[in-house]
Every structure is written in C-alpha cells, then in structure tokens.
Amino acid sequence: MQFTTTRGAGQPVSAARAICLGLAGDGGLFVPERFPSVDLKETLAQPDYPALAALILKKFLTDYDPAFLRDTVRQVYGEAFGEGTAPLRAAGDGLYSLELWHGPTCAFKDFALQLMPRLLVEAKRMLGDGSTTAILVATSGDTGKAALAGYCDVPGVTITVFYPSHGTSEIQRLQMTTQQGGNVAVYAVQGNFDDAQTGVKRIFGDADVARQLAARGVHLSSANSINWGRLVPQIVYYFHAYGQLVRAGALKAGDKADFCVPTGNFGDILAGWYAKQMGLPVGKLICASNKNDVLTEFFATGVYNARRPFYRTTSPSMDILVSSNLERLLYHMAGADRVRGWMKQLSEDGSYRVDPEVMERIRADFGAASADDATAAAQIRELFEQRGYLCDPHTAVAFSAARRNKSEAPMVVLSTASPFKFPRDVLAALGRPLPRDEFAAMGALAEYTGQPAPKALACLRSLPERFDAVIAPDALGDVVLGE
C-alpha cells in the first residue's frame, strides 16, 4: 500500500515514510492510493479488539511485519484499556453510545496515540532513520495529553504540545501541564486552536526551519490527525461497534448502521467513511458540531467559510474553524487539482466553494447538525434523568444531532471523552450546585450520579504543574528552534 498527497506533488511513499513525515512536503495530507476491502464475516469472527485491530491495520500498513502489528496491538490495548475497550451502551430509541474514553487519558485519542508512538519507532527502524524526531502537536484539549502520554520518554523522540490559552477545560489543562517525562514540553498559545494549528502547519512548511533542524539531526513529525498514523487506528472501532450491534441482536450482519460523531478536525468521522469504503455497512455519517458550526454550514451550502466568529464553548475540543481532515475527503471526491485550488483559496481568502456535483456525492454519505451549549446541557440532563446515562458535553452535542437525523437503522454516537473531564459543565447541566473548585465539582458529580471519577483525573489535584509558559502565535517557530 502506497500513500500519496492530497495536493498531488511528489512520488507516493510507504506507510512507514508517511507516518515519519506526518505532513507531505507540499502541505497536503497523506492518503491511501486505494481502499482495501475486508470480509465482514472475518471481522465479526475476531475474538477481541486487539485481533480486530491487527486485521484492519495490516490492510493499510502493508510494509509492517504482521507479527509486529499483532503483538503491538495486543500490548497496547491490553495494557492501556484493560477490559473496558470501547463498550457499546444502549441509550434508548435505537441510539447507542460507543464509549471511547476508557483509556489512560480518558479520551478517544488514546486509541490512536497509545499505538502511534510504537508505529513511529518501528517505521524509523525499518527506514534506518537514526535522527531525532521532534513531534509537534496543536491541541484543542484531548490530543495534547494523549500524545504526551503516548510519547513520554520514547527513545529518539521529543514532543512539544501547543494548546490555546483559556481554550480548554481546567482538567484538560492540568492533564498537560503536569505531564512527566524528560522529552516533553507544553506551551499555552495566545488565541484559539486555529492559531495553534496554523502555527504548527507553518513550521512544517518552513524550509529554513527544516534545514536548521536537519543540521542538528532533528526531523519534524506530527501526532495530530493530519498524520496517517493517527487516523488509521480510528477505523478499527467502527468495525468493533458494528460487531457489538450484531452480537446484541440490534441488527443482522449486512444491515446498515448509522454513526454520529462530535467533530472538530474531521478526523474521527473520516475514519468512519474509510471503514465504509472498506466494506463496513455504514448508512449515514452525521457530523455533529457545536456553536462553531463551520462544518454544518459547509454540508448545507457547499461553502467552507472559516472567516466567522469564534466561540468558546462547553465542548472545547470541537472549538475549531479549520477542519484539516476535510481536505482528505475532498481529495477522494474531487482529486488533487481541485483540492490545491480550494486550499489556496482557504489560505488567501478564508473560504472556498465546492462544486455542486461534488457536494452531491458528499451528501450521499454525510449529514450534519449543530447544537449550542444550552441544547447540549439539556441533552445531558435528559439522558441522565430518563435513561440513567451520563455523558460529557461533546457526546451530548452528538446525541442532539443524532436524534434529529435518526433513521430506521441503529444510530451509534461516538462518545469521545469522560464526563469527569468537564465536571462543572456537567453538574450545571444536571441542575446541581456548582463548587468553585474543579476537583470539588468532580467529587460532587461522582456523589450525585453514583459513578466514580477516573483515577487518572482525580489524581491531578496532587500533581505539580511543570509548564506555565504562554507564547504568541508567531513565536512557535522560535520555541521549536530553541531561540
């Protein structure tokens, strides 16, 4: 399997090379040259999540030794997730919640970022690359901690995370600033996530920065979902969810299931579309947005307009105006030439318009809806009071969108974070008194709901903060170069 860039420059590369590079030299994203097919019966026959992951991953990572993949996923998902790997919970009325937050950092990013460091180290070994890999991460909340945890003290790798100042929950911030490890660094960036992400992309495209780092034996890579190694593990849990539906009798093998995904950077939902291209019986993929509803508008009008007000919401991981992975979908639908033009327009004008015939193909697979903070809060309260199900604000946004797009098929909502990452917002949604302190709120939420807070979050209270630097968006390059 070879990978090409969404913008059409250069020669195809192997999976190992794509994972090492992160972003293509022309600024595009790596995509597979074709979609491998899978036998649905074979996926349903897999005994557990690691076995299913090995089956799916080897279809794309063809230059990796299948034995390495089999052993690695067994170690990663066994150690980090225990027995709680992506359980599917019934939420009534044909709705289901796929809980993707039972990993070590309590967010869905763990599925990729516990595995990706091992894929990177193996890729460097395969390619004979003895350089230091400097991982740069822009995060809207959850990716930062998951990446820091995954790459902590990995030999031959450093990782620097940039997050928006005042743009995450307090728990998310503390997860990053208390991170241990000799190879990690964390910076708050003045502005929002798009400021951080644009700064990181600018560094990747700066030839002078690359030359200076190469002279020191350092090469850049990414742990954001722009990196193929981040995206490919996420395909697996769509097959896993479908298998659980079949085993629960919610549908028969071969029948379609719909999925609703709370989406910011469009990577998680794109993984579902990739699963569909491989043969998983997926009906509609519903893109759920918060008040930053640039994607909802795009699916409705065909116009992507990033020049719009930016809102800080109770679902901060979705507070994004430039959804990078949409470029991958556009490539598959329209080709590199059009993508190059659209991305140039986005860079210069902040917007672009997609041709009607392309939008028609996109809408055949995708729907979209948005929900503001009040709607999400009402959904949290309704789910808990009527179904006894507790969810975080991101998942609540998706449940709201799912209800408005429900068909006869089962609808799986991807639950992307623990509600205890946002204890004050969840308590407020439940109509409970709000303690001033986040950890008091965590305790109050646990007491009221009868559900324990994850130890990985509760322990943050006692950990010292290591990183407190706040930098301007134009200073990211100086940080990377150590100036």
**Which residues fall within 8 angstroms of residue 139, CB to CB, at 6 or more apart?**
145, 147, 161, 162, 163, 168, 176, 193, 196, 224
**Which residues fall within 8 angstroms of residue 280, CB to CB, at 6 or more apart?**
38, 40, 43, 238, 239, 242
Q: Tell me, what DSSP letter sits at residue 453?
A: P
**Which residues fall within 8 angstroms of residue 440, CB to CB, at 6 or more apart?**
none
- d(C-alpha 278, C-alpha 261), whole Å: 19
- d(C-alpha 108, C-alpha 30), whole Å: 22
- d(C-alpha 204, C-alpha 226), whole Å: 12
Nearest CA to 429 out of 370, 372, 356 is that of 372
109 is an active site residue: yes
- d(C-alpha 31, C-alpha 326), whole Å: 12
Q: Tell me, what DSSP letter sits at residue 461?
A: G
Nearest CA to 421 out of 216, 146, 112 is that of 146
Token look-up 């947005």 returns 289
Choose, from 59, 109, 276, 421, the residue flagged as catalytic. 109
The residues carrying an active-site annotation are: 109
